[in-house]
Homo-oligomer: A and B are copies of this chain.
Amino acid sequence: MTDLSAIIADIVAEMADAPERGKVADYIPPLATVDPMKFGIAVIEADGTCHLAGDADEPFSIQSVAKVFGLTLALGSVGDQVWKRVGREPSGTAFNSIVQLETERGIPRNPFINAGAIVIADILLGRRQPSEAIAETLRFVRALAGEDGIYIDDGVAADEQRTGFRNKALANYMRAFDNIVHDVDQVLGVYFHQCALAMSCRQLALTGRYLMSGGRNPETGHSIVSANRARRINALMMTCGHYDGSGEFAFRVGLPGKSGVGGGILAVAPGKASIAVWSPGLNERGNSQLGTLALERLVQRTGWSVFEPLGR
């Protein structure tokens, strides 16, 4: 195998020249103004070796990538009760579709579409104040990463709260089916703040380590979730992690992954590496255009796809 740092350097060089960079999300001002030329990648191997390149240390809005950490927390809190309120199937529709909720009576198809993550936020809210639930999420992510520098961008959260009418529609709709039980605005407060986590590629890859390591923090040996649960979260990331582009991501990259409209992707090569990429331009399905391409290149050269024997 070629040296990993060289591979990553090659990828960064290739991405710098890529002609098609996708379209930066523009629905709230803080996302719209991000420089589309940004590109960062961080790869942390199972032994802890960390490879960084490009803008790997620059924080960005992780947005829906946070749904992975929200789900992990909710599973820790109520266990498999989660699955009474959220499904485990790919949606077959856009990330913010409401159609499925009507035909399936308020049960979102999976925890990685907006509706599903809003139910997860409702679970996380529990009997607490929104500020407590938000603080817990932040503490959890900081602990996973072992970094106190991770923060929530309140400006991003406020902008989403002001303009997120589709999410308000989803939440109210599920409330009508009793699949949201708390005050809708409070639930969305938790949800929007979770989305507004600001992290660098390095921090994101650090946070994702438990998913490559059977649920343990490989540095501390501390168990975050059971091996079984880590495996299942990875499975959900594979089938549902890229909205209605999940099949395409599996086809091209072949790793469990979760994308966000901020242009970040967290990908997991079980037993091999925790990977974060960031490039703000999105493809037509709302996933990072160059982030996906970079992961495709990485997997081609490392053989890390879970679907081939060579890398295993």
Contact = CB atoms under 8 A, between A and B. Distances in A.
Interface string A234-248: 111011100011111
Interface string A75-115: 00000000000011111110001111111000001100000
Given A99-B99, A173-B165, A310 B90 contact: no
A231 B305 contact: yes
Interface stretch (A128-136, A137-145, A190-198, A250-258): A250-258
Nearest to A93: B92
A260 interface: no
Interface in A162-217: 165-166, 168-173, 175-176, 184, 212-214
Nearest to A91: B92
Contacts of A22: none
Contacts of A256: 307
A247 B309 contact: no
A14 to B, nearest CB: 18
A85 to B, nearest CB: 16
Nearest to A248: B88
Contact of A88 (B213, B251, B305, B308): B251
A270 interface: yes
Nearest to A233: B307
Contacts of A238: 238-239, 250, 307
Nearest to A244: B89
Contacts of A305: 231, 235
